[in-house]
Copies of this chain bind each other. A is one copy, B any other.
Amino acid sequence: MDIRYPGGKKYQVPKLETSGQKDYGNRGMTFEEDINESNKYYLANGIAVIHKKPTPIQIVEVDYPKRSAAKIKEAYFKTPSTTDYNGVYKGRYIDFEAKETKNKTSFPLKNFHEHQVIHMKNIIRCGGISFVLIRFSTTDEVYFLDGNMLLKFWERMKAGRRKSIKKEEIVQFGYSIPIGFRPRIDYIRVIDSIYKEFF
């Protein structure tokens, strides 16, 4: 299967969110970094514009000193009501969440907040493309799981059954994404192959 990317022009790359993380020592690239690098690649090559949303924060106290930047002195992390990544590919709305687990045989659904799952449902109803990227960190495997499939496993949990997705179910219903060089995690390739009727 060929991937046809629209246009071919180089864009000026805006500075991207890095979530304040800077130093990874010898740990290599994190999953989030891999995704951000992939998004930078898509952006620089005019393929897609996908950004990670800033972490939602509740600000309580801000100091406005003279002659220097406003300093936030008290704030708290808020539970996100949406997914972390969204943007545009060929005019379509793209929306996803990225999660990793150290588990070897299953992916625990407690990795998602109820709000995020409701958000995914809303996105799908409005014609957007919703999915999750799941990384099994011990084996460095990444899977693409369509939002509709995630909703099914979520419903199964709400019905009082499994609180996780078996790895073999992810293998069966998801799509394995080999780790590449550029882009590191080519999820657009999966979108191209499974949502053909959308474009």
When C-beta atoms are compared, the residue in chain B nearest to A77 turns out to be B70
Q: Which residue from chain B places its CB closest to the CB of A127 in the assembled complex?
A: B91
Chain B minimum-CB-distance residue to A18: B58
Copies in the complex: 2
Interface size on A, residues (CB 8 A): 55
With A92-B93, A118-B12 given, is the CB distance from A74 to B71 under 8 Å?
A: yes
Q: Is A181 an interface residue (CB 8 A)?
A: no
| Interchain nearest-CB distance for A120 vs B (Å) | 10
Question: Within the complex, what minimum Cβ distance (angstroms) separates A2 from chain B?
Answer: 19
Within 8 A of B (CB), among A111-154: 115, 118-119, 121-123, 125-128
Chain A 64-84 per-residue mask, 1 if CB under 8 angstroms from chain B, else 0: 000001111111110001100
Are the CB atoms of A14 and B81 closer together than 8 Å?
yes
Interface 0/1 of A3-25, CB less than 8 Å to B: 00011010110111100100000
Q: Does A108 contact B (CB under 8 A)?
A: no
Q: Across the interface, do B51 and A54 meet the contact criterion of CB distance under 8 Å? A: no
A53 contacts across to B, CB distance below 8 A: 53-54
Minimum CB–CB distance for A9 against chain B, Å:
8
A14-B115 in contact (CB<8A): yes
Binds B, one of A28-36, A42-50, A169-177: A42-50
Q: Which residues of B contact A9 (CB under 8 A)?
A: 125
Q: Give complex CA distance A21, B163 in Å.
A: 37
A49 and B123 in contact (CB under 8 A), knowing A73-B73, A74-B72? yes
